[in-house]
């Protein structure tokens, strides 16, 4: 497989594969002039053409946040023959080769999914400057996946288009409100941020409307069509849409009870699909107990595989 370097502004570069038929995404947050805006640049085709989209946000810290998405080299099925597409997203200091993400991806590859992996560099402690860039990268991935699947009927299709799934760890679980409100896609939330991190000055958490939270920003509010779908779901007695106010399938949450960012009440208010690991930390490990840690890894991987198989 040949790799080509794509030059980005400010001499930043990301890798993309020339052999893949769909666009590869690269985004970064830049400080423009006054330093009051973020710009996400998305590579939309194999020629390296870019599309700049301004994203409102707070003053970004230098160096800028960089996000890239590439196809996993361990994919088995050929493009167009997959059961569905997965976007695997890392946490801070927990990349896609770490156990929870790696083995979830391996399980899904064996089930016929194709995996795309996100890489995030220079993530600030202020999550309000990072989340818009992550959301922009996801927008590009969804658009690219739907474009590549347009007109190709197959096992990977659903009534709304290609079968898509997102798996986030910690930091990237914060994109769930955007994904649910705008796309209604299934989402696996590994160690989600349900209790704010002390280091984050913006004190961001995943909002849970069922316990009185508002959606983070007006831009994350459902569209009119999505709001109507939620109302129809309420009238039909679909409990997740009625209680969560997010459209689409209820997410899967996997977390440890010793995780300082976990909140059981908020998790159960957000989704009926909650897999708890007693005494496990933010990596779903129990320090000093390797057998329990490995057992939890197997349990989480099995839960992810089961959730994906039902889509």
* Tokens of residue 292, six digits: 């329990």
Sorted by where each begins, the domain ranges of the chain are 67-309
Contacts of 202 (CB under 8 A, 6+ apart): 58, 126, 127, 128
Bridge partner residues of 164 (DSSP): 85
Contacts of 245 (CB under 8 A, 6+ apart): 209, 210, 215, 222, 230
- pLDDT tens by residue, 74-123: 999 999 999 999 999 999 999 999 999 999 999 999 999 999 999 999 88
What percent of the chain clears pLDDT 90, i.e. is strictly above it? 55
Residue identified by tokens 């997410």 is 251
Contact predicate 119/25, CB 8 Å = no
Q: pTM of the prediction?
A: 0.75
Contact predicate 86/116, CB 8 Å = yes
| Strongest mean pLDDT among 6-10, 139-143, 238-242 | 139-143
DSSP state of 94: B
- pLDDT tens by residue, 196-206: 777 677 677 89
At residue 145, does pLDDT exceed 80? yes
> What number of other Cβ atoms are within 10 A of residue 141's Cβ?
24
User: If we measure between CA atoms, which residue out of 83, 85, 90 comes closest to residue 20?
Assistant: 85
CATH for the 67-309 domain, from 3.40.50.720, 3.40.50.1820, 3.40.50.920, 1.10.10.10:
3.40.50.1820
pLDDT band at 161 (very low <50, low <70, confident <90, very high): confident
Query: Is 265 or 203 the better-scoring residue by pLDDT?
Result: 265
Bridge partner residues of 89 (DSSP): 168
In Å, what is the CA distance from 179 to each residue of 45, 122, 131, 271?
23, 22, 12, 15
Residue identified by tokens 């052999």 is 19
In Å, what is the CA distance from 46 to each residue of 21, 76, 252?
8, 22, 34
Weakest-pLDDT range from 116-120, 132-136, 219-223 = 219-223
Taken in order 6, 8, 13, 15, the sign of the CA dihedral is: negative
Q: How many CA atoms lie within 13 A of 257 on its CB side?
A: 5
């Amino acid at each position: 497989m040949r790799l080509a370097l794509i030059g980005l502004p400010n001499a930043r570069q990301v890798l993309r594969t020339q052999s893949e038929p769909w666009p590869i995404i690269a985004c970064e947050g830049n400080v423009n002039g006054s330093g009051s805006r973020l710009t996400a640049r998305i590579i939309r085709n194999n020629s390296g053409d870019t599309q700049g989209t301004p994203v409102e946000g707070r003053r970004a810290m230098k160096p800028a946040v960089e996000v890239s998405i590439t196809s996993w080299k361990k994919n088995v099925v050929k493009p167009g023959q997959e059961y569905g597409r997965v976007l695997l997203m890392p946490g801070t200091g927990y990349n896609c080769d770490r156990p929870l993400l790696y083995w979830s991806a391996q399980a899904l590859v064996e089930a016929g999914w194709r995996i795309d992996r996100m890489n995030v560099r220079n993530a600030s402690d202020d999550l309000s400057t990072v989340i818009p860039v992550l959301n922009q990268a996801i927008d590009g991935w969804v658009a690219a996946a739907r474009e590549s699947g347009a007109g190709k009927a197959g096992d990977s299709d659903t009534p709304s288009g290609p079968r898509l799934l997102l798996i986030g760890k910690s930091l990237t679980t914060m994109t769930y409100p955007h994904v649910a409100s705008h796309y209604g896609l299934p989402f696996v939330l590994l160690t989600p941020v349900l209790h704010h991190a002390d280091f984050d000055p913006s004190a961001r958490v995943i909002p849970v409307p069922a316990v009185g939270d508002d959606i983070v920003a007006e831009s994350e509010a459902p569209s009119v069509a999505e709001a109507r779908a939620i109302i129809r779901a309420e009238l039909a007695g679909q409990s997740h849409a009625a209680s969560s106010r997010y459209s689409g399938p209820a997410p899967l949450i996997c977390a440890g009870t010793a995780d300082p960012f976990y909140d059981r009440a908020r998790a159960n208010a957000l989704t009926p699909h909650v897999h708890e690991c007693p005494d496990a930390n933010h990596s779903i490990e129990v320090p000093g107990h390797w057998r329990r840690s490995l057992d939890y890894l197997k349990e989480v991987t099995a839960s992810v595989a089961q959730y994906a198989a039902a889509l």
